[in-house]
């Protein structure tokens, strides 16, 4: 399975990315690292699927997905396709 890790550097010198065990801790060396939740993947109320709630980044709820892993993948795809937005209260 392919995987893309993306790091975005803005013009002010701030760096953001979707958390990844392989690289985020290394970037903490740059300065003040903050890690915040960007979404919630939760079971549907009827227990028959999964929803990715992207409200922490002012995004929508997407799904339902029958598999949790599909909801997790959809969540990451949404974040990447929206320029990895910064969660509320983190700017």
Partner 1 sequence: MSHVAKVDLKIKDIAALEEACGQLGLELMKGQETYKWFGSWQNDYGRENAAYHHGFDPSDYGKCVHAIRVKDANKQTYEIGVCEARDGSGGFVLIWDFWQGGYGLREKVGTGCKNIKREYGKSVARKEVKRLANKYGGSYTEEVNPETNETHMKVHMY
Site residues for partner 1 per CB under 8 A: 2-15, 22-23, 26-27, 29-32, 83
Using CA atoms, how far apart are residues 78 and 46, in angstroms rounded to an integer?
24
Q: Which is nearer to partner 1, 6 or 40 (CB)?
A: 6
Q: Which is nearer to partner 1, 4 or 48 (CB)?
A: 4
Give the shortest CB-74-to-partner 1 separation in angstroms. Answer: 20
Q: Which is nearer to partner 1, 12 or 45 (CB)?
A: 12
Cis upstream peptide for 18 (omega within 30°): no
Using CA atoms, how far apart are residues 80 and 28, in angstroms rounded to an integer?
21
């Amino acid at each position: 399975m392919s995987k893309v890790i993306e790091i975005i550097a803005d013009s002010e010198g701030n760096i953001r990315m979707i958390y990844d065990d392989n690289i985020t801790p290394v970037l903490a060396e740059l300065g003040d690292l903050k890690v915040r939740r960007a979404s919630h993947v939760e079971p549907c109320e009827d227990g028959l699927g999964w929803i990715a709630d992207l409200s922490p980044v002012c995004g929508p709820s997407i799904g339902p997905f029958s598999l949790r892993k599909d909801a997790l993948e959809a969540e990451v795809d949404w974040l990447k396709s929206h320029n990895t937005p910064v969660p509320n209260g983190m700017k």
